[in-house]
Copies of this chain bind each other. A is one copy, B any other.
């Protein structure tokens, strides 16, 4: 069997169900590359699930392409758990292994966990049903990701918030200040600079840091290490605005401005 186990955003998000699955698995493969879980370490994991487990730290090449076949063949004999940051299938990376397992008659089980996808609205106080399409902002190396900017504007035109997940490439995780610069460089209409946005660092951990301000100003704060993400805020409801003030340090001047604002953005 192949068991995809969500790790959540902190090792302390491991659930009863997740711990049971990891304890009973014959082998554990840890996805170390699709996201960063700041307080995760193999030694902490062993304290929770026992010292005697075979635990393999996997990089991209170990869980993608040619490696998939090997994992599937092994999963026919051994119960193999793949431990994935967040929820196992919110990023689409592991759909390929899941699909190949199913095509080959290997049972697949999923243990869900906390994802930035739901924590971003919940932690900030921005209402989940006011979010439009989510996008990942990628580094503009091979091409300029104008479609990300189009998504932001499209969501704003419908008065919807946008969750921006930030790119992660090998050892480089995009930070909020980097992302702000990339967005402002791509923003040809030039309206996003002064828009209300929230910077989110280490969501769901004990070091969670939230900061609401104009997008351009988000570059000026000190954040804990990644993972980082950003929400571009549509016209906030009064309760959302108050929660941003208390939860995310929205400056009082902006709080007042947005409380009475009619035109948006």
**Interface of A toward B, CB cutoff 8 Å:** 6, 8-17, 19-20, 48, 87-92, 95-96, 98-99, 102-103, 110, 112-115, 117-119, 121-123, 125, 127-136, 154, 158, 160, 204, 239, 242-243, 246-247
Beyond the given A13-B17, A98-B243, A131-B133, please list 16 additional residue pairs across the A-B interface where CB-CB is below 8 A: A8-B15, A12-B20, A13-B15, A13-B16, A14-B16, A89-B121, A92-B127, A95-B125, A95-B127, A98-B125, A99-B243, A102-B243, A113-B114, A114-B118, A132-B132, A132-B133
Q: Which residues of B contact A117 (CB under 8 A)?
A: 117-118, 121, 128
A95 touches B158 (CB 8 A): no
Find the B residue at minimum CB distance from A10.
B17
A154 to chain B: which residues have CB within 8 Å?
A: 158
- List, sorted by A's number, 7 A–B pairs whose CB atoms are closer than 8 Å: A11-B16, A12-B15, A12-B20, A16-B48, A95-B127, A112-B114, A129-B135
Q: Within the complex, what minimum Cβ distance (angstroms) separates A229 from chain B? A: 13
Contact indicator A118/B112 (Cβ below 8 Å): yes
Q: Is A112 within 8 A of B204, CB to CB?
A: yes
Contacts of A19 in B (CB 8 A): 16
Q: CB-CB < 8 A to A112: which residues of B?
A: 8-9, 13, 114, 118-119, 122-123, 204
Residues on B with C-beta less than 8 A from A10 are 17
A98 to B96, CA, bound (A): 40
A16–B7 Cα distance when bound, in Å, is 11
B residues less than 8 Å from A114 (CB atoms) = 6, 15, 87, 112-114, 118
Minimum C-beta distance from A26 to chain B (A):
21
Q: Contacts A122-B88, A122-B110, A134-B131 hold; do A95 and B243 have CB atoms under 8 A apart? A: yes
Q: Is the CB of A121 within 8 A of B8?
A: no
* Residue picked from A16, A20, A134, most chain B C-beta under 10 Å: A16
User: How many Å lie between the Cα of A130 and that of B90 in the bound state?
Assistant: 11
Q: How far is the CA of A246 from the CA of B100 in the complex (A)?
A: 11
| Nearest 10 interchain pairs by C-beta | A89-B122, A12-B17, A102-B246, A115-B118, A118-B118, A12-B16, A117-B118, A112-B114, A13-B15, A129-B134
With A12-B15, A112-B13 given, is the CB distance from A133 to B125 under 8 Å?
no
Separation of A114 and B135 alpha carbons in the complex (Å): 21
Chain B residues whose CB sits within 8 angstroms of the CB of A96 once the complex forms: 239
